Amino acid sequence: MLKNDNRPIGVIDSGIGGLSVARQMLRQLPNETIVYLGDNKRCPYGVREPGQVKDFTYQMVNFVLKHDIKLLIIACNTATAIALDSIQADLDIPVIGVIAPGARAAIRRTDSGRVGVIATTATVESHSYLNNIKFKNAEISVVEHACPRFVPLVESNDVAVETVDRIVSEELTFFNDKDIDTLILGCTHYPFLRSSIERARPDVKVIDSGAQTIEDVSMLLDYYNISSNTKAGIDKFYTTGSTELFDKKIKDWLSLEQKSELAKIEELPTNKMDKEILIATKNVGKAREFEKMLGEFGFSVKTLLDYPEIEDVEETGTTFEENARLKAETIAKKLNMKVLADDSGLLVDALHNQPGVYSARYAGVDGPTKDAANNAKLLHELTDHRELSERKARFHCTLVLADPDDESIVVSADWHGHIGYLPQGENGFGYDPLFVVDPETGKTSAELDPAEKNQLSHRALALAKLDTILKGVFEK
């Protein structure tokens, strides 16, 4: 029985070359929705070391996985040659590269049994096309040639046609005495040079590996019964480089007026993000801090905002650990998954460690004015303590990692500072604008940039203690 699955298909590439694959998707699979990511900032991949290409590819994969894709196309030949096997082993969705489909098409099309391949240096050095063709038909002769000048031609916006024709012709003279009758475009950038390639070699059959890939994608959608019968979403295009240049290519090559979005992927994990943790909070600021820190450990983070059906757990404990345990263990049991909960708060020496576990509800106010009301009450309570030395305080964090099948793990940490006289800074939340981290400059936690805060905060210190334990738990 056919079912409708309108989740998007992810397409990743080192730059704009994968738009040739997206173009074929729009033509051949009009009901499917695309999430495209081009790593233009770090393009080209073809001249990089294999280890770096693999790291970059995993960062792209982890970005598009956040869009709940049902199938992944690695549209970059270099990334396919280096990372396809490991990514296929790591993911539980279909993953397809562009090399095998192009190789199969060349085997079908050649009459003389002599096939040429043009690709990046890394793809040629991997011999992926040669090995793929030889595995299926050892009688076919394969001649490979690296064309490192082609990708910059495509990525550029202002190269004259005459210049393109000249460079293409110079590169393809390599095949003058090779007697090939079929030529594989072994980089998804190269179809955008197809006119120049065909002018230089009108005697050969040109194979667009990207177009062949979409034929295989169509078969995979049918095989796994995950086709969409209607265009349910909007195609999304992301780039790590200039959105302005990327938008121009989208318009020129795909005839779309769509605007791309900037993607920041450099800090995403360079490995499989299958280690999932639920952070027991609906606090967006707190969730963002955890996501940033846990992402470095290779964890995919979800929050209670992803589970609206879970009711709030009442914090009836009298200590930070009791409250963190209540949240973590209750939710872990309900969802049957690992849950990380924290209970954190501010302890002020002069106020006998108040507000403590009542930090979030110190002023008895809820809603968008809660933080301002809590800060105002804190300043009022410290009116008689005028010297900064009398206003010592610390943020405390207790973390509880609850496992429905194991004992909970508990760690705690403190971040020492002082309470200032006026709120300062736009970053952070809660008491951050009053928490002075540097008494000499008066700089507050809310004036730290997120990266700096994620190194210093009470949650960062607690997570540092938990780091080794977390790795051990998730390696089981």
Query: Among all residues, which ones are annotated catalytic?
Result: 76, 187
CB atoms within 10 A of CB 176: 8
Pairwise CA distance, residues 131 & 123, whole Å? 12
Pairwise CA distance, residues 158 & 142, whole Å? 34
What phi and psi values does residue 316 have, to the nearest 5 degrees?
-100, 0
Pairwise CA distance, residues 78 & 186, whole Å? 9
Q: What burial class does residue 233 get, using C-beta atoms within 10 Å of its C-beta: 0-12 exposed, 13-18 middle, 19+ buried?
A: middle
Residue 39: both structure tokens together? 């790593």
Pairwise CA distance, residues 419 & 476, whole Å? 43
Query: Residue length, the chain?
Result: 476
Question: ∠26-14-227 over CA atoms, to 5°?
Answer: 30
Q: What burial class does residue 315 get, using C-beta atoms within 10 Å of its C-beta: 0-12 exposed, 13-18 middle, 19+ buried?
A: middle
Q: Alpha carbon of 351 to those of 380, 383, 394, 400, 423: distances in Å? A: 11, 11, 12, 27, 19
Pairwise CA distance, residues 447 & 434, whole Å? 10
Pairwise CA distance, residues 88 & 86, whole Å? 5
Considering only CA atoms, which of 390, 299, 382, 294 is closest in space to residue 342?
A: 294
In the 8-state DSSP scheme, what is residue 378? H
Rg over CA atoms, the chain: 28
Considering only CA atoms, which of 168, 119, 158, 112 is closest in space to residue 137?
A: 112
Pairwise CA distance, residues 352 & 261, whole Å? 49
- Sign for the pseudo-dihedral over CA of 403, 404, 405, 410: positive
Pairwise CA distance, residues 183 & 105, whole Å? 10
Residue 148: both structure tokens together? 């490192």
Residue 34: both structure tokens together? 């695309």
Pairwise CA distance, residues 261 & 242, whole Å? 9
Pairwise CA distance, residues 412 & 146, whole Å? 55
In the 8-state DSSP scheme, what is residue 259? P
Pairwise CA distance, residues 427 & 176, whole Å? 63
